[in-house]
């Protein structure tokens, strides 16, 4: 059974409302999700991601070893450069997503809540004769997100991932509360997710299911390097890239703003012309309320769904689509 991450001390902050489901353990919001979104968009604020797993790999062979296992080219990864990577099944389906950085002696990675123990078991099974040590550091370190444009100071010695969307800090858990107090305002996971959906950024377990391949959600080039050596699932990646098209594609949806409730994960997507009783052509992966765009969502649909076709979600919520992954 997966051991849960420690509950964040920031849930004791004024106005904190606990998140549910896969994001349990941190705050959904601190009283005003839209204000929190605007703060992040403006380059201020801090998001508590301490429910995410933290895994490290040390040893002289850490980069060459990971290079053999991951979809990303990391054998010569310079210290301080962020990289996204996947672990695939033998059939090319996404099993794990790692967000990593090397500090010169250690590779640090944060992963989705609920996935770290399976990831650690797989990594341990692949060690063989390589000079590497794999460790679960979740009890010791917490992940914090600072948005793009933030001028918040980074503590001396903190490991940082610099990305186009902001900085991700690996902080000692003992320092989390003090750092948040001096680098707020705090923003909850709802605000973070709204901006993630707006940016069309897929998330493991939300935009993926047991048969998702990287091409379907736009991860070729971002988390999958096409010119690196062999890794598990590479045959599927190369075949689909060179000879075919993925069976599904990620789309961005503008939802009817008059609806009170957001469609849940898995809500069916159909052609508007066929109505809510028509044939299901996909499903909603993440739906959020955005402070400017209103209700929006990401969804996986069949590749042959016309890119300009009006859609309906769930029991009849109208949805206009924008292309994320080309058909």
pLDDT digits (tens, 9 = 90+) for 143-178: 999 999 999 999 998 999 999 999 999 999 999 999
41-74: per-residue pLDDT in tens? Answer: 999 999 999 999 999 999 999 999 999 999 999 9
Q: Which of 205, 202, 227 is nearest to 215 (CA)?
A: 202
- CATH node for 247-326: 2.40.30.110
Kindly report the pTM of this predicted structure.
0.96
Predicted confidence at residue 260, as pLDDT, reads 81
Strand, helix or coil for residue 139: coil
195-220: per-residue pLDDT in tens? Answer: 999 999 999 999 999 999 999 999 99
Domain spans of the chain, in order of start: 9-52+140-199, 53-136, 247-326
91-102: per-residue pLDDT in tens? Answer: 999 999 999 999
Q: 322 among the known binding-site residues? A: no
DSSP 78: P
CA 189, 193, 195: angle at the middle one, nearest 5? 125
- Give the confidence band of 292 by pLDDT, cuts at 50, 70, 90: very high
Predicted confidence at residue 228, as pLDDT, reads 87
- Give the confidence band of 2 by pLDDT, cuts at 50, 70, 90: low
Q: How far apart are CA 144 and CA 46, in angstroms?
A: 7
226-247: per-residue pLDDT in tens? Answer: 998 889 999 999 999 998 899 9
- CATH superfamily membership of 53-136: Aminomethyltransferase beta-barrel domains (3.30.70.1400)
Would the CATH topology of 53-136 be identical to that of 247-326?
Answer: no
Q: How far apart are CA 327 and CA 165, in angstroms?
A: 26
């Amino acid at each position: 059974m997966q051991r849960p991450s420690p509950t964040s001390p920031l849930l004791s902050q004024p106005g904190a409302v606990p998140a549910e489901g896969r994001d349990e353990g941190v705050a959904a919001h601190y009283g005003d999700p839209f204000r929190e979104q605007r703060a992040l968009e403006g380059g201020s604020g801090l998001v508590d991601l301490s429910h995410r797993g933290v895994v490290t790999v040390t040893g002289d062979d850490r980069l060459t070893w990971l290079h053999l296992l991951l979809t990303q080219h990391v054998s010569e990864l310079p210290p301080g450069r962020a990289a996204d990577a996947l672990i695939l099944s033998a059939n090319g389906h996404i099993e794990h997503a790692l967000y990593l950085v090397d500090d010169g002696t250690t590779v640090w990675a944060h992963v989705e809540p609920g996935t770290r123990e399976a990831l650690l078991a797989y990594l341990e099974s692949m060690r063989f004769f390589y000079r590497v040590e794999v460790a679960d550091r979740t009890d010791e370190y917490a992940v914090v997100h600072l948005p793009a444009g933030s001028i918040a100071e980074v503590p001396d010695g903190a490991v940082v991932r610099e990305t186009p969307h902001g900085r991700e800090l690996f902080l000692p858990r003992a320092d989390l509360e003090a750092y948040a107090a001096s680098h707020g305002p705090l923003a909850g996971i709802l605000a973070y997710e709204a901006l993630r959906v707006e940016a069309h950024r897929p998330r493991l377990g939300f935009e993926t299911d047991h048969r998702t391949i990287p091409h379907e959600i736009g991860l070729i080039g971002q988390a999958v390097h096409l010119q690196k050596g062999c890794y598990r699932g590479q045959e599927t990646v190369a075949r689909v890239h060179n000879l075919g098209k993925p069976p599904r594609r990620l789309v961005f949806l503008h939802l009817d703003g008059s609806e009170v409730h957001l469609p849940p994960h898995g809500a069916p997507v159909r052609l508007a012309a066929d109505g809510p009783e028509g044939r299901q052509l996909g499903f909603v992966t993440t739906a959020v309320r955005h402070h400017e765009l209103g209700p929006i969502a990401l969804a996986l649909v069949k590749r042959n769904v016309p890119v300009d076709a009006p859609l309906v979600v769930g029991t009849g919520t109208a949805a206009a689509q924008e292309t994320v992954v080309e058909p």
